[in-house]
Structure 1
Amino acid sequence: MSKAKHFSILSLAAIFAFGSYAPLCSATDIDLVALSNGKAMLIIDGKPPKNYAEGAVINGNIKLLTVDRNHAVIEVDGKKQLLQLGRTLLQGSNDGGNKKVILQANELGHFLTTGQINGGSSLRMMVDTGATFLSLSANDAQRLGIDYKKGVLSRSSTANGVIQTYRVKLDSVKIGDIEILQVEASVQENELPFALLGMSFLNRVTMVREGQQMTLSKKN
């Protein structure tokens, strides 16, 4: 049985969003703690952990579709979401349609999430208010079909010195229910453990931090 890595991740966040989901009337707190033999062990709203088999209804409109060694796919109001080991919040919106996501700091104090770029496959990201642009590795850019070498050649100062980068503009960046169009990004040919969600995205949302929790809301 795989044990949970205690990452604390965004609402829909260690969730890989395959598509948007219908707003929930209230938040459902789901903690995926283990995966084994086609079953997922989940903690729902702080209740004792329980194993769910593929096809099981987890909670009302949430259904467990499939399980493999690394993640589980759930269905929320008919929309598929990928759930990884770690704490996940499904945050409903009942405040007049204001779209928001909630992040919980991990043990290192970092805010991690998963999002989509240009509607492609999902990508791990870390909130980085010190980064001017959303930053990607060349490998991630290629996987997402971004021809980054057509971008503007530039240089960037990093902890490892000055590196060559390419400035590009992304059609869209989506985190949970928040989608921002025409986001400037920087692609570097060095490896990155995850993309950096920099200020070219963060400047276009409202950020509120309370202790170990951060809420991102789309600006009207």
Structure 2
Amino acid sequence: MKGLVVAFVLMGLFASSCWAADIRVNGLFGGSAVLVINGKQRLLKQGQTSPEGVTLIDSNSRRAVVELDGRQMTLGLSDHISSSFQAAEMAEVRIPRAENGHYFVSGFINGRPADFMVDTGATSIAMNLHHAEQLGVNFRRGRKGSASTAGGIVNAYHIPLQKLTIGNITLNQVDATVVVGDFPSQILLGNSFLSRVEMSEEEGVMVLRTKF
């Protein structure tokens, strides 16, 4: 997708947990990734586990999802995590501003990968019918209603998403609106998520942090 900028994700693990491997992302492809694990370069395909015990869960040209010891992490190109890394308890996601002035980030809806555009003017997570069908969102079980778009008032379904993950921030029961039609072309990360995290901007980088 044009203009998509990968979020630089700082993975917040609890102080009692750490990774048993040193992992760096050297290459990203659809369904595979080049990882340097404990100094050894590994080309892993989706679902494959390295001799070090690192499993590639999902990968595209923007990010890879890896799993080690039952814990998953999203990494962008050149991102690095080591066994000596002991993160603070507060989860944090940093999203660079794209050239068009918007903020784009990858994440997961109910465990399925999705790409978002941050929209502080959107009341909730917003997506079109095609997005919902791709993500397996059973929108017809939601509450029928309407949504205001640039083209006027359109039919919509309002439904809570069971789980929404951006980087290492996961929220449950996040309100979403599924718009009947092709709008919006990009899934919008709206205030049903943003209002539940701390949000700030630092020199062109949007920073999201968990609230306590």
TM-score higher than 0.5 here? yes
1:65 lines up with 2:56 in the alignment: no
1:142 lines up with 2:133 in the alignment: yes
Structure 1, unaligned runs of 5 or more: 14-19, 41-51
**Cα deviation 1:96-146 (Å, max 9, x = unaligned):** x11111100111111111111122x20110100000010111122122222
Compared CA separation, residues 115 and 39, structure 1 to 2 (3 A): closer
Q: 2:87 aligns with which of 94, 111, 130?
A: 94
Q: 2:166 aligns with which of 175, 196, 220?
A: 175
1:212 lines up with 2:204 in the alignment: yes
The alignment partner of 1:140 has SS state of helix
**Count of residues in correspondence between the two structures:** 188
Report the residue type matching 1:139 in the other structure.
H
Contact 1:58/1:64 (<8 A) preserved: no
Q: 1:156 aligns with which of 120, 127, 147?
A: 147
Q: 2:188 aligns with which of 187, 196, 210?
A: 196
What is the percent sequence identity of the aligned residues? 31
Q: 1:9 aligns with which of 1, 6, 14?
A: 6
1:114 lines up with 2:111 in the alignment: no
Report the residue type matching 1:114 in the other structure.
S
**Cα deviation 1:43-68 (Å, max 9, x = unaligned):** xxxxxxxxx6xxx526759854249x
Partners in 2 of 1:168 and 1:74 — Cα distance? 27
Normalised TM-score (structure 2): 0.70
Deviation at 1:157, TM superposition (A): 1.4
Contact 1:171/1:183 (<8 A) preserved: yes
1:126 lines up with 2:117 in the alignment: yes
**Cα deviation 1:149-188 (Å, max 9, x = unaligned):** 2211111111222211110011111111100111111001
Indicate the RMSD between aligned Cα atoms, in angstroms. Answer: 4.0
1:166 lines up with 2:157 in the alignment: yes
Contact 1:9/1:88 (<8 A) preserved: no
Contact 2:125/2:192 (<8 A) preserved: yes
Structure 2, unaligned runs of 5 or more: 47-59
Compared CA separation, residues 123 and 100, structure 1 to 2 (3 A): same
Contact 1:138/1:189 (<8 A) preserved: yes
The alignment partner of 1:8 has SS state of coil
